[in-house]
A and B are shown apart, each in its own frame.
Chain A
Amino acid sequence: MTTWKRKDLLSMQELSADEITAVLDTSAAFKQVGSRQIKKVPALRGKTLVNFFVEPSTRTRISFELAAFRLSADVVNISPTTSSLTKGETLKDTARNLQALHADIIVLRHQSAGAAQFLAERLQSSIVNAGDGAHEHPTQALLDVFTIRERKGRIAGLHIVIIGDILFSRVARSNIWALLKLGARVTLAGPSTLVPRAFAEMGVAVSHSIDDILPAADVVNLLRIQHERQQKQFFPSLGEYVHLFGLTRKRAEILKPDCLIMHPGPINRGIEIDSEIADSPRSVILDQVTNGLAVRMAVLYLCAGGKKLG
């Protein structure tokens, strides 16, 4: 537990392998708590957590909210429509007001890359990045590697394939750093418009032909295609996307029998993943959601400077 000295969790890029492992180990302890009759621990009793979601979110916000409840923290939720940002208040001023109200932890979801770091440099409160633009979504990566480690027993040496919209994906970036630091091999796949060559410089492989890479994959992580926004400029049609990059039933047959299928959600059934495959035994999509709770408990606990678990 002494490995973690940070006030904030801003990105996976800045974490060391030891720090990541510390979060995963703490998460495992909290996951045990979740299976007890009484799921609540007093670790953050008396602390105030603000869920500051400037960009709308349901799943991540609820996950953080439940995590905070289970740690006995007091929770306030702020959504874009209830904040003064709609009245023209700057992010800095809104956040300074939260600090003046003695918020111990601010969980920030924001559409601008760098927003979490912006607050962390200006506030005493702990800042937990719950997604900043296309930059990072560190708790998603942590719950993803937690899920892989839980199922596979390790990360090092595994071959992880991430398919979909990499360019606009904070989940992809956080996963890339986390997996590389823990010794995995990472291949990114998707249309060349959404998987630019620059990503290869991070130390990953880039492929535009998933039939070639799926047979060797230990884990396939599918990212949501934001078709409402991207279709016209980035690929010609959803049909063509499914044809080239969708995890169809046919493609699922070439996967290793023990290959894990992951998705950060929300899923588009029939687009990035076939509906039956999403519900198949190899799919750990709902385990990811469950594990997200434990991982976020661990992150809140560590950032709040938590002592040894009772």
Chain B
Amino acid sequence: MISRIAFRFWMIVLLLVLPAVGVIAQIPLVEYEQALYSIPVFNPDFILSTIELGMTQGDFPAEPLLRLIDRLASHPAPSFEKEAILIVLAHALGDGFPIEGLINKASEGLARGVPLQQIEQGLLVRWSLLVLTREELLWSKGIFSAPAGLPQKMPTAIPMLRFNQLLIHISETIGDFLEGGGSPFEGHVLYQEVHKRLTMLQGVTLLPEDVELVLNRIEPSDLTQVALAAVS
């Protein structure tokens, strides 16, 4: 019991501290600007403006993004293909989505030697899954993200960083399921997968009440709908 209380205390401290760490650990915009010049991109202003916007997000992955741009710069593909990947990230960032999963996918694709156009296609599906999952949570299930720092007045208004974590894990599970050859119509299997991933992380990086809220409200048919919309 005591350890559970201690754990919850540290989780809350961690989630409160994360945004501050994000600000402290930020990389100056000029670093990104220089990295973009070495690609070079045709439209650096759009990308830079969304990065600047993203920097205000508590979970902005500053270092992984810079590392990815550097990796793209040294890639032999034509620069418009590299820019296409960054444009997807910039759109997602501009819409306030957490992009750590997208950066991870792109980095994995580069490491595996996957052609950039194929990486871009993969990112587009993942991005649309983020959009569709957020819509599903918000409009159908009434679960939404509350601005950071405000006290939580409704149980379904989850502080942004916690909400983003749920969003990442639900949408990625659907993405992994589809990529592994799963059919959107296998809603029950998909639900099991989401259930498994969230419960494995329950009390690890996700708060138990957030996991319970999502698992109680979401149904296999909701996931089928999201998966279907993503592939169509």
**Chain B binds chain A:** no
